[in-house]
DNA sequence: CGGGTTCTTGACTATCTTCAACGAAAGTGG
DNA sequence: CCACTTTCGTTGAAGATAGTCAAGAACCCG
């Protein structure tokens, strides 16, 4: 999951970015807080998330962390680079994934549909990351947080009357490291959104979007 | 071209990220300041740069710009998303490129080597972009500029005695929009590097790295 | 040479970070 | 189940980094 432009969000009426039909292969189940792979691991398989949330991270030598992406159901993670994983990947919740051999992506001699699906996922990944650049490089803290909430709304929101509710599966620190901010700034920004009645925070991990349109507005301009 | 971690830069002793052998296909030549493609264009071809420099950009509705990447010789640009280009692509210098049909990437039934090469390029693109996230999200202005110069040094530097010289093909505004800064900050940071004798600026577009090791140090820590 | 653009520099400001304290929530062990 | 510890989130005050605005210098191009 990346923070993409609304244009891309609303363009096609499909909620999951890749093939709507999630494979019927047997799923691998994992508890929260486990590593699916580490940076540097040999990458033999790709993973499509059936259920749960993953976090992809990368570190600098001196310990600063960047959350590269969150993985939600439908997302595919683990694209290799020179045969190796380039990020750590950890489960934030109990998760089930189905896996594909990297050779399915690279040649896919047997199953052309799967080959095509994995390739399209890789290409979609590239364009989603391009949008995310725009967000990291050019948006204010308020815009970043609003954009982030908009994407979560799209991906995991549940309609409650005229509002939209979702559970934040990640910590404030995770959000901060994803958006290039600090936990304090995340916290303050959420408080502001709460005080201006755009969102409500039921408990620390449950957000209710009260004014979806206002949130979209905030995601785009500083005013 | 993205700003990647030194680990990745020095890992393999290959200067160009993809296949060293540049195709012998006939090249398309273009003058500086021309568009190779626009955002939204139908994407029928990928381009590998033989010579020159490209700039990939993306805009927000309200006119803020992000330079997604610069394309240097060896780089491949134009990966499509849902059959369309997702960025603008413009030549910064006179440029020659060779092109590949998108179908070479997607199926490649005829030429397996090319298919494999384009796919690996896409995968390398993903991991390079992941590194770039770390830079955009977590590095200071000084670290960003130093990192940027390090990459240029690697990609287009020319040994001059014990120093390394290169020509900046892009404007300060381009660098700013690439690193998520302003032109003023780029200018000030370059001035600082010049005053501390880490670099020299021969003319506005010609940089000489006087202390390559110091520059690498600055790229990694704020001190 | 002249006009326009780009780059640099300065002064000031805003945004976000840092540091610190406190409160809430969650995990641990008796 | 409750006290204890630890982690996580919120809030405030102060500070730093980068942005904004403005002016002048350098460069480019006809």
CB of A203 less than 8 A from some CB of B: no
Nucleotides of D under 7 A from a protein CB: 8-13, 17-22, 26-28
Tokens encoding B20: 């060293």
- Give dist(CA B171, CA B150) in Å, integer: 17
- Which of A65, A123, A177 is closest, CB to CB, to B79? A123
CB of A118 less than 8 A from some CB of B: no
Are A87 and A57 contacting, i.e. CB atoms less than 8 angstroms apart?
yes
Are the Cβ atoms of B136 and A138 closer than 8 angstroms?
no
H/E/C letters for each residue in A25-39? CCCEEECCCCEEECC
Q: pTM of the full predicted structure? A: 0.91
CA of B145 to C1' of C9 (A): 19
Nearest of B148, B145, B178, B169 to residue B66 by alpha carbon = B178
How confident is the model at residue B12, as a pLDDT?
A: 44
Asked whether the predicted pLDDT for residue B19 surpasses 50, the reply is no
Q: Per-residue pLDDT tens for A65-124?
A: 999 999 999 999 999 999 999 999 999 999 999 999 999 888 767 788 888 899 999 999
Are the Cβ atoms of A130 and B221 closer than 8 angstroms?
no
For chains A and B, CB pairs below 8 A equal: 119
Q: In B, which residues are within 8 Å of A39 by CB distance?
A: none
Asked whether the predicted pLDDT for residue B10 surpasses 50, the reply is no
Instruction: Transcribe A138-166 into DSSP letters.
Output: H--HHHHHHHHHHHHHHHH-EEETTEEEE
Task: Identify the band that residue A19 occupies on the pLDDT scale cut at 50, 70 and 90.
Answer: very low
> What percentage of residues in chain B have a pLDDT greater than 70?
90
How confident is the model at residue B7, as a pLDDT?
A: 54
Are the Cβ atoms of B5 and A122 closer than 8 angstroms?
no
Task: Identify the band that residue B104 occupies on the pLDDT scale cut at 50, 70 and 90.
Answer: confident
- Give dist(CA A69, CA A77) in Å, integer: 9
Q: A208-222, B4-18, B167-181, B195-209 — which is least confidently predicted?
A: B4-18
Helix axes A141-156, A183-195, angle to 10 degrees: 80
> What percentage of residues in chain B have a pLDDT greater than 90?
79
CB of B63 less than 8 A from some CB of A: no
Tokens encoding A170: 């990640």
- Give dist(CA B80, CA B59) in Å, integer: 17
CB of A19 less than 8 A from some CB of B: no
The bridge status of strand B206-209 relative to strand B199-203 is: antiparallel
- Give dist(CA B164, CA B148) in Å, integer: 14
Helix axes A172-179, A183-195, angle to 10 degrees: 100
Are A175 and A184 contacting, i.e. CB atoms less than 8 angstroms apart?
no
Would you tell me which residues have their CB within 7 A of strand D? Answer: A 171-173, 183-184, 186-188, 190-191, 201, 204; B 140-142, 180-182, 184-185, 203-205, 222
Q: In terms of CA atoms, which chain B residue is nearest residue A77?
A: B126
Are the Cβ atoms of A58 and B133 closer than 8 angstroms?
yes
């Amino acid at each position: 999951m990346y923070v993409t432009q609304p244009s891309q969000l609303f363009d096609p009426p499909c909620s999951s970015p890749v093939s709507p039909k999630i494979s019927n292969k047997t799923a691998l189940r994992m508890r929260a807080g486990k590593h699916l792979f580490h940076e540097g691991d040999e990458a033999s398989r790709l993973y499509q998330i059936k259920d749960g949330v993953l976090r992809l991270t990368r570190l600098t030598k001196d310990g600063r962390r960047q959350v590269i992406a969150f993985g939600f159901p439908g997302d595919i993670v683990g694209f290799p680079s020179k045969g190796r994983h380039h990020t750590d990947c950890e489960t934030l919740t109990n998760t089930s994934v189905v896996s594909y051999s990297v050779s399915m992506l690279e040649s896919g001699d047997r199953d052309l549909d799967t080959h095509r699906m994995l390739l399209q996922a890789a290409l979609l990944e590239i364009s989603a990351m391009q949008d995310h650049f725009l967000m990291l490089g050019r948006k204010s803290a308020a815009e970043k947080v609003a954009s982030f909430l908009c994407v979560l709304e799209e991906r995991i929101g549940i309609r409650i009357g005229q509002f939209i509710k979702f559970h934040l599966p990640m910590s404030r620190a995770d959000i901060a490291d994803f958006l290039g901010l600090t936990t304090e700034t995340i916290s303050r920004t959420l408080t502001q959104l709460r005080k201006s009645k755009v969102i409500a925070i039921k408990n620390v991990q449950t957000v209710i979007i009260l004014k979806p349109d206002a949130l979209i507005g905030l995601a785009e301009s500083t005013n």
